[in-house]
Amino acid sequence: MNKDNVISDPSRFHFHSLQHCQSCRMQEHLLMHNLTPALKEELQSISFRISLPPSSTIFHEGDEANGVLILRKGRSKVTLNSEEGRTVILYLAGPGELLGLSSVISGSPRQVTAITIEPCDLDLVRRADFLDFLGRNEDQFRSALDELAMQHTTILAAIRRLSLAPSLQANLARFLLGLNCPETTQQTDKIHLRLTQEEIAQQLGTTRESVTRTLSKLRKERIIEQRGHTITIHNRCLLEHMAGARTEEDVLQSA
């Protein structure tokens, strides 16, 4: 077996998913974290609270960037849509996230779509008020730029995940392993899925049917067990080999 084709030392690798704890993707939402009590009060004074049910569109690609939205409660998905109607989830946003930050700073139309996946409370800060707030607070302006750079890095990671994965099996294995990343949570073999198979497919750039088939194959080979929304990993070592293998033949050689 060619050792270069598998993860010989899994402890050197971290498998990141978009579903697990948001601190894995962004340790701190920099602008919100760095606000003093006085600045929090100032920002709140120019904000408008919006409450939305699940599956509500916060904004569409191509919309005018009329303001930035601070996600206070709940989660949303940030997506791209093709002309053929295909949807890809770039990342999931959690409390503290600034939605629409890039377009508000650049003044360009929205480049992505944001949709709630559970009940959400958001604070809308109109573009002119937000830019004025940043202009009067140099530290917050730098924090906003840092957060924008981190969002850009997240989107690049999504592009790599969607276009450079060796196989759906490897991609799905990485997804499952990333759901309980040991950097932020105590590692466990039990995973609670918070997304539908359709949403998982949108994250992995494939179809729901393909995800269903691949999960079925992992269950048949007793690598995982699934009961409802709970997945139990029975063979973590082999799942890690799958995640690091360049081809499915590499996995067979390592089994």
**Mean pLDDT (whole number) for 104-109:** 92
Amino acid at the residue 97: E
Task: Show Cβ contacts of residue 112 under 8 Å, excluding neighbours closer than 6 positions.
Answer: 61, 78, 79, 80, 90
Question: Domain boundary at 162, 178, 195, which?
Answer: 162
Residues 152 and 169 placed together within one structural domain of the fold: no
The predicted pLDDT at position 100 comes to 92
Give φ, ψ of 226 to 5 degrees.
-125, 125
Decide if 2 is inside a domain.
no
Q: What is the mean pLDDT of the chain?
A: 78
Residues 172 and 152 placed together within one structural domain of the fold: no
The 3-state DSSP class for residue 82 equals coil
Residues 75 and 153 placed together within one structural domain of the fold: yes
**Mean pLDDT (whole number) for 227-250:** 78
Q: Which residues on adjacent β-strands are paired with residue 191?
A: 231
Looking at residue 102, which CATH number applies to its domain?
2.60.120.10
Residues 93 and 210 placed together within one structural domain of the fold: no
**Mean pLDDT (whole number) for 95-107:** 90
Terminal-residue alpha carbon distance, the chain: 10
Residues 187-230 pLDDT 10s: 568 888 877 888 888 888 788 898 899 999 999 999 988 888 88
For residues 89 and 79, give the distance between their C-alpha atoms in angstroms, rounded to a whole number.
4
